[in-house]
Copies of this chain bind each other. A is one copy, B any other.
Amino acid sequence: MKLTQAFIPTLREVPADAVIASHRLMFRSGMLRKLSNGLFTYLPLGLRSFKKIEQIVREEMDAIGSLEIKPTVIVPADLWKESGRWDAYGDALMRLKNRTGAEFVVSPTAEEAFTALVRDELSSYRQLPISLYQINTKYRDEVRPRYGVMRGREFIMKDAYSFHVDDACLDETYKKMGAAYRRIFKRCALTVIPVQADSGAMGGSGSEEIMVESEIGDNTLLLCKSCSYAANVEKASCKLDYAPRFAIQIALGAAASVPPMETIDTPNVKTIEELCGFLKTDSKNFIKTLIYKAKNVELDMGDAPGIAKIEKRKSATGASSESTQAYSEVFVAVLIRGDLDINETKLKAFLKAADVELAADEDVMRITNAPVGFAGPAGLEHIPIIADPSVTSITDGICGALKKDLHIKHVAWARDFNAWKITDLRTVKAGDACPLCGGELYEKKGNELGHIFKLGNKYTVSMNVNYLDENGKSCNPIMGCYGLGLDRTLASIIEEHHDEDGIIWPMSIAPYHVTIIPIKYENEVKKASDALAAELEKAGVEYLLDDRDERPGVKFKDADLTGIPLRVVIGEKTLGAEQAQVELKQRRDKENRLVDLDKAGSEIIAIIKAELDKLNKQD
């Protein structure tokens, strides 16, 4: 394509809110424009690269036998009420009403639409497994959209859903998806970090996120210096630096040597740090006690203290299926060793809650009879206590006294307090020990590009999907679900492949393979440029011919900015040499070299093929 017939409005200026390289470069290179906060228009150059990612994703999905379908973007709320997510999803769900008052969602993800489809078509185990995907518009009502398409409100996601008779079958598809994701990102020239992940509000068991390292990443990753362990902090566990004591008898035995509890005056001392200084002791001896409010809790809490009084919320559809029932609001007391932090994602997952947050001051006052800072498990009643195992290792502990300006010392697990449940709630940090090999863990910031997980039967039970097995028994299939953000993948490629002057596209994603720059588009130079363009076009090479009446410097700057991998410069001087030549340069190289004009086409074609082969080669 000739540049004068294209629409590539490059900019010298950087938009004020563009703080990361991909955001800056997508605007400056004329790939993207802002329509509104978190909403963007892809211009022709951006769309070309975008579609190459789309095509790679499609090819790899097709290759593992997933079948493409296309539901609508706007989906009836009824389906989301069936699944329970109409209530559980939170404010990021874009809800709307049509002229008749019927409710809909703008899909942020499509478990419901796919599950409803399969429900209607499925009758026998012989039809399983089924693996379906779409590449379609999604919307999330982000509070703070930023970083361009890295975190926009509307975006394109590839989301696949698979349905299976058993875990072995799900495992197989899950593994194929994991392998397909690795191939996709390799073809996109992206360095990715697959990590163990929490499966969030989705429920389910196995879960892996494919991350790219990023300064502005909204995920913290824990990686082991000695082995291949890698996990999202939301999921990460570590080798314990203490001996947990779970059996009450053991705990009581240990408590026998501890002096009786003793209340101590701690005027104006609220934080654990202040308390350590005041009592001249280590934070490891403190029993940190936090009151949390959890919403839409699906964990069965029938035997928990203070819970009997809380009415079970009916599911939105009025269905009485156990799985869609939930406590709309529950308060819990959460304990952990004073030097450690609660991982709210783990807490949320344990409670099967839609959301957890620290209780408001007035709720803490009501529940603990004291302002924030004086909670403790000893004497705390009518509320379920959930403890991290680290608490069980504290033999002679300190905690709040449930009264203002008072703490208690010599508090002993099992003797002075007990927990309703003990479960891992610890936030793992850099420096903790790898759960696999004991090596030192370190942290990275990452952005999630893909997420694959085993959903289990959450949706097939709540939405009543059944098939008859070999024995004619009605069963719920189990599901896997597999997302991949295309916009974010595009931005991440630019993050990994750029320099001060602009983008450096990998050949597979480049909007054009080569840019032909005539020094002045006239006479012999024009003739040679057109001939080369024609030769390349015939070979299926995507070229851009800069036929503008601009100084060479301007053309070079734009070529660097837009990042086309190959650049051919055609000028009178080299054309007029004894052997007519042109300058050939790869965007990633500093130096150019002279190539005979009559061999330029075949050389360019060969370079493109080699680059594509290298990226597409399967390991």
Residues of A within 8 A of B (CB): 5-7, 9, 33, 35-36, 39-44, 47, 50, 65, 67-76, 78, 91, 94, 96, 98-99, 106, 113, 116-117, 120-121, 130, 132, 137, 139, 141, 143, 153-154
Once A99-B143, A106-B106, A132-B7 are accepted as A-B contacts, the answer to whether A44 and B72 lie under 8 Å apart by CB is no
Query: Which residue in chain B gives the minimum CB-CB distance to A11?
Result: B121
Contact A41 B70 (CB under 8 A): yes
Q: How far is the CB of A123 from chain B (nearest CB, A)?
A: 10
Q: How far is the CB of A596 from chain B (nearest CB, A)?
A: 33
Complex Cα gap A67–B5 (Å) = 9
Once A94-B96, A121-B9, A137-B137 are accepted as A-B contacts, the answer to whether A44 and B71 lie under 8 Å apart by CB is no
Q: Which residues of chain B are near A65, meaning CB under 8 Å?
A: 5
Contact B98 A70 (CB under 8 A): no
Query: Which residue in chain B gives the minimum CB-CB distance to A114?
Result: B41
Query: Which residue in chain B gives the minimum CB-CB distance to A93?
Result: B99
Q: Which residues of chain B are near A153, meaning CB under 8 Å?
A: 72, 74
- Return the contact of A75 from the options B6, B35, B70 (Cβ within 8 A): B35
Q: How far is the CB of A563 from chain B (nearest CB, A)?
A: 19
Complex Cα gap A378–B322 (Å) = 75
Contact A116 B35 (CB under 8 A): yes
Q: How far is the CB of A270 from chain B (nearest CB, A)?
A: 34
Complex Cα gap A33–B120 (Å) = 9
Contact B47 A70 (CB under 8 A): yes
- Return the contact of A7 from the options B5, B42, B67, B106 (Cβ within 8 A): B67
26 A-B interface contacts by CB (under 8 A): A5-B65, A7-B69, A33-B117, A33-B121, A35-B75, A35-B76, A35-B117, A36-B78, A39-B72, A39-B75, A39-B76, A41-B71, A41-B72, A42-B70, A44-B67, A44-B68, A44-B69, A47-B70, A50-B70, A73-B154, A74-B139, A74-B154, A91-B99, A94-B96, A99-B141, A106-B106
Q: Which residues of chain B are near A67, meaning CB under 8 Å?
A: 6-7, 44
Q: How far is the CB of A237 from chain B (nearest CB, A)?
A: 34
Query: Which residue in chain B gives the minimum CB-CB distance to A34?
Result: B120
Query: Which residue in chain B gives the minimum CB-CB distance to A110?
Result: B41
Contact A130 B7 (CB under 8 A): yes
Most chain B CB neighbours (cut-off 10 Å) among A72, A113, A132: A72
Most chain B CB neighbours (cut-off 10 Å) among A6, A65, A94: A94
Complex Cα gap A588–B375 (Å) = 81
By secondary structure, the A interface counts as: mixed
Query: Which residue in chain B gives the minimum CB-CB distance to A143?
Result: B99
- Return the contact of A40 from the options B6, B72, B76, B132 (Cβ within 8 A): B72
Q: How far is the CB of A542 from chain B (nearest CB, A)?
A: 12
Contact B98 A141 (CB under 8 A): yes
Query: Which residue in chain B gives the minimum CB-CB distance to A40?
Result: B72
Complex Cα gap A116–B94 (Å) = 24
Contact A47 B72 (CB under 8 A): no
Once A33-B117, A96-B94, A137-B137 are accepted as A-B contacts, the answer to whether A47 and B68 lie under 8 Å apart by CB is yes
Complex Cα gap A113–B47 (Å) = 16
Once A7-B67, A72-B35 are accepted as A-B contacts, the answer to whether A117 and B154 lie under 8 Å apart by CB is no
Q: Which residues of chain B are near A70, meaning CB under 8 Å?
A: 41-42, 47, 50
Q: How far is the CB of A78 from chain B (nearest CB, A)?
A: 8
Complex Cα gap A96–B73 (Å) = 14
Q: Which residues of chain B are near A143, meaning CB under 8 Å?
A: 99
Complex Cα gap A69–B44 (Å) = 5
Query: Which residue in chain B gives the minimum CB-CB distance to A90?
Result: B99
Complex Cα gap A229–B153 (Å) = 48
Contact B47 A137 (CB under 8 A): no
Contact B41 A117 (CB under 8 A): yes
Q: Which residues of chain B are near A72, meaning CB under 8 Å?
A: 35, 39-41, 137, 153-154
Query: Which residue in chain B gives the minimum CB-CB distance to A73?
Result: B137
Q: Which residues of chain B are near A33, meaning CB under 8 Å?
A: 117, 120-121
Q: How far is the CB of A112 from chain B (nearest CB, A)?
A: 10
- Return the contact of A96 from the options B40, B42, B96, B132 (Cβ within 8 A): B96
Q: How far is the CB of A519 from chain B (nearest CB, A)?
A: 21
Complex Cα gap A50–B70 (Å) = 10
Besides A36-B78, A41-B69, A74-B106, 20 other CB < 8 A contacts?
A5-B65, A7-B132, A35-B116, A35-B117, A36-B76, A39-B72, A39-B74, A41-B71, A41-B117, A44-B67, A44-B68, A47-B69, A73-B73, A73-B137, A73-B154, A74-B94, A74-B154, A94-B96, A96-B96, A137-B137
Q: Which 4 residue pairs are nearest across A and B when measured between Cβ atoms?
A: A96-B96, A36-B76, A41-B71, A42-B70
Complex Cα gap A142–B250 (Å) = 70
Query: Which residue in chain B gives the minimum CB-CB distance to A48?
Result: B68
Q: Which residues of chain B are near A7, meaning CB under 8 Å?
A: 67, 69, 121, 130, 132
Q: How far is the CB of A180 from chain B (nearest CB, A)?
A: 16
Q: How far is the CB of A150 from chain B (nearest CB, A)?
A: 15
Complex Cα gap A68–B50 (Å) = 12
Most chain B CB neighbours (cut-off 10 Å) among A33, A74, A130: A74
Query: Which residue in chain B gives the minimum CB-CB distance to A71?
Result: B41
Complex Cα gap A74–B106 (Å) = 9
Q: How far is the CB of A161 from chain B (nearest CB, A)?
A: 12
Q: How far is the CB of A111 from chain B (nearest CB, A)?
A: 14
Q: How far is the CB of A604 from chain B (nearest CB, A)?
A: 23
Complex Cα gap A195–B42 (Å) = 34
